[in-house]
Amino acid sequence: MDITICHLYPDFMNLYGDRGNIIALQRRASWHGLHPRVVPISVGEEYDLRSCDIIFMGGGQDREQRAIARDFDDRYRVMNEAVQDRVAVLAICGAYQLLGRYYRTAAGEKLNGLGLLDSWTDAGAPRLVGNVVVESRLDGTRRTLVGFENHGGRTYLGPAAAPLGRVLAGHGNNGVDGQEGAVQGTIIGTYLHGALLPKNPWLADYLLGQALIRRGARHQLGALDDTLEVSAHQAAIRRARG
Amino acid sequence: MTLARWLAAIWVSKVLIGFSHWARRGGSSFPGRVARRLCPQVLTRLARQLRWGGIVVSGTNGKTTTSLLLANMLAASGMKVVHNRTGANLTAGVTAAFVQACSWTGRLDADVAVLECDEAALAGVAREVRPLAGVVTNFFRDQLDRYGELEAMVTKVGSGLAEVSHQGFVVLNADDPAVAGLAQQLAARPVFYGLDDPACAGVGAGEVSDARRCRACGGRLQYKVFYFAHLGLYYCPHCGAERPRPGITVTRRESLGPGGSRLEFAAPSGGLGASLALPGLYNAYNALAAVACALTMGVAADTVAWALANSASSFGRMEPVVVGGRTVILALIKNPAGCNEVLRTILEGTGDRYLLIAINDLTADGTDVSWLWDVEFEELADMAHRLPLVVASGRRGEDMAVRLKYAGLSPAAIVVENRLGDAVQLALEQVPEGGTLHVLPTYTAMLELRRILNDRGYGRRFWEV
């Protein structure tokens, strides 16, 4: 069975090893017996996002975020249609901010986001940097997510968005309310780099599983040998809590 | 009072430097910090005594190698050189280098100082030293968790270079758009260097988007030729900006494998050819930066060529050590572009390769290890039949192991051993007599490995390099 992963703006929004998430989705899909295909889509390229199964978008520096802002805004309609059609979305850091309602810069300028997440972000100082451990119940069981955050923005969630998890170590969305990331419908937003998915294989499989459910596929994801991944996950927990 | 503080700063600091050598611990910044505490003007007052002036060398990759080569060239031309050669490249380290070079009365008998400066420390050092020249190698994504963002780092380096005297010059890499863009804000004269050998063309930056934006208009740069990462012959299709024409170039590079390369240079003052005992295209760039600076200072071409050919590898960068009939080569890795070049260099040629990759995540390494996902470890997987075993070590050895697995290596060919001493032992046991173990450590892992090899009686102590 084919799985199509759309990598949005791989040439602009790809900071701190974010492409590792694409590598992880691709590899794990193959190991699960699926046939993954990655479609890179950049500024000015038309693409019906409903025709893919998973949309991924990474972080970027301010300069890069500005470069794609216009194009991303133009994609509101197709993006919204894809989300209504239950296409899974994973947005990291800068992409997470852009999916919210707005981003207010340090100078007080308000930049509109797509508003697909009920969230907003204010610039802040100092930057929130370091290892993070999050407890998440996204797939119904109590899981941990590990990663590395590095963001100036403080993100807050409105009632329509739920946090991805609770911060056990690190700062999370804003360093104040103990929340990290956002989940709304099929969209997952988070500040965690790492890359995120290789060290949190359960989340990679969750995304692949969502794609299969949407397609009404009978294919079940089996268990893989994740010894190395789980060791890295545990080492990251020790490092963050140490 | 002032004289007392001045002498106290120098005496105490000198004693501490002597002690740290005696204790076999190089690269400490403590003596420099103490000197600055006792006499805040110590660096300014020492630097003022230089007969020619100071040269600051910065950039993310290659500044240690570049400054070492440059210091050797200047020494070969008869100059007395102050050089912070242990890689202590913050303000305290620079101060310690001056204190070590001066007399007990604080008199400095030297012509020039070649000062390797960390990107974040450059502006501070430049304000105190008032350099007459600057050299910038490149801007790769490097330990950004320390600086926030690449842009901020470029701005910081720019403000440091603005301190270079208008009578001086700044040597800039024309092939790196972010470095070449620094020319705009200088009081000093820019001198561009670059590669001019189409045979050096590589695969380019892939999806890593380090610095490939036009400095003038923010548009995406196009490349006629990629040399490596985002270095190459670029132009902006939106505003017409392009790579400045370099005055000093490498016109031909012939790889001699892991042993080094033969380089031909062109300059307004004439050409020169030299062999370089350092491998990889990235070291050709380092040599070029040093050559450009030396030639601009008026050093004779044959002196420059001699110094290049006779420079041993800078500390820790691809430095061989013989251990029980096996050669251990240490090659520092710290960011994707540099690591890609190291991998490419190691895989040149044929035959089995034995690798130990040691990843630490302490402050000096960069606490964020996600850069490992921007390295093309997939190139190792393409050569999996030549890699009997890869040992992943260091505090984040597990992260490295996962990266290798997702690059396509079989988990059976990957061993995790966090403790460096045990990892070296384990890896060496796999290497046949007469074979080579390639060790790729991050900065603090390299220091630790060096200590381990020293304690077992191998290798040189690094302040002797």
pLDDT digits (tens, 9 = 90+) for B358-383: 999 998 888 999 999 999 999 999 88
Give the closest-approach CA distance of A146 to chain B in angstroms: 12
Residue B396, domain member (yes or no): yes
C-alpha atoms less than 13 angstroms from C-alpha of B280 in its C-beta half-sphere: 23
Last residue of a domain, one of B280, B309, B338: B309
Task: Please state, for a pLDDT cut of 90, what percent of chain A lies above it.
Answer: 82
- For position B208, what pLDDT does the model report? 46
Binary contact (A232, B367; C-beta < 8 A): no
Query: Which residue do the tokens 């017996």 mark?
Result: A33
Task: Calculate the average pLDDT of chain A.
Answer: 93
Binary contact (B218, A12; C-beta < 8 A): no
Residue B22, domain member (yes or no): no
The C-alpha angle A139, A141, A145, rounded to 5 degrees, equals: 75
The reply to whether B256 and B379 lie within a common domain is: no
Q: Which CATH number goes with the domain that contains B147?
A: 3.40.1190.10
The reply to whether B268 and B350 lie within a common domain is: no
Task: Calculate the average pLDDT of chain B.
Answer: 87
Q: Which chain B residues are closer than 8 Å to A67 by Cβ?
A: 213, 218, 220
The reply to whether B197 and B117 lie within a common domain is: yes
Q: Is the pLDDT of residue B212 over 80?
A: no
Last residue of a domain, one of B285, B309, B333: B309
Q: Which chain A residues are closer than 8 Å to B150 by Cβ?
A: 61
Residue B224, domain member (yes or no): yes
Domain that holds residue B149: 50-309
Domain that holds residue A10: 2-241
Domain count, chain B: 2
The reply to whether B433 and B285 lie within a common domain is: no
The reply to whether B342 and B301 lie within a common domain is: no
Give the closest-approach CA distance of B360 to chain A in angstroms: 11
The C-alpha angle B9, B14, B15, rounded to 5 degrees, equals: 105
Q: Which CATH number goes with the domain that contains B403?
A: 3.90.190.20
Residue B70, domain member (yes or no): yes
Q: Which chain A residues are closer than 8 Å to B397 by Cβ?
A: 235
The reply to whether B418 and B349 lie within a common domain is: yes
Q: Which chain A residues are closer than 8 Å to B144 by Cβ?
A: 16, 150
**B239-257: average pLDDT:** 90
**Residue B197 vs residue B456, higher pLDDT:** B197
The reply to whether B132 and B266 lie within a common domain is: yes
Q: Which CATH number goes with the domain that contains A117?
A: 3.40.50.880
Q: Is the pLDDT of residue B287 over 60?
A: yes
Q: Is the pLDDT of residue B85 over 80?
A: no
The reply to whether B283 and B322 lie within a common domain is: no
Q: Which residues contact A213 (CB under 8 A, 6 or more apart)?
A: none
- For position B88, what pLDDT does the model report? 83
The reply to whether B296 and B333 lie within a common domain is: no
Domain count, chain A: 1
The reply to whether B104 and B153 lie within a common domain is: yes
Which residues 180-219 of A have a C-beta within 8 angstroms of B? 193-195, 198-199
Residue B91, domain member (yes or no): yes
The reply to whether B143 and B253 lie within a common domain is: yes
Q: Which two tokens stand for residue B268?
A: 């307004």
**B5-30: average pLDDT:** 77
Give the closest-approach CA distance of A180 to chain B in angstroms: 18
Last residue of a domain, one of B283, B309, B335: B309
The reply to whether B322 and B303 lie within a common domain is: no
Quickly state the pLDDT bin for B24 (edges 50, 70, 90).
Answer: low
Return the active site residues of A.
Answer: 93, 193
- For position B211, what pLDDT does the model report? 55
pTM: predicted TM-score of the whole model, two decimal places:
0.73
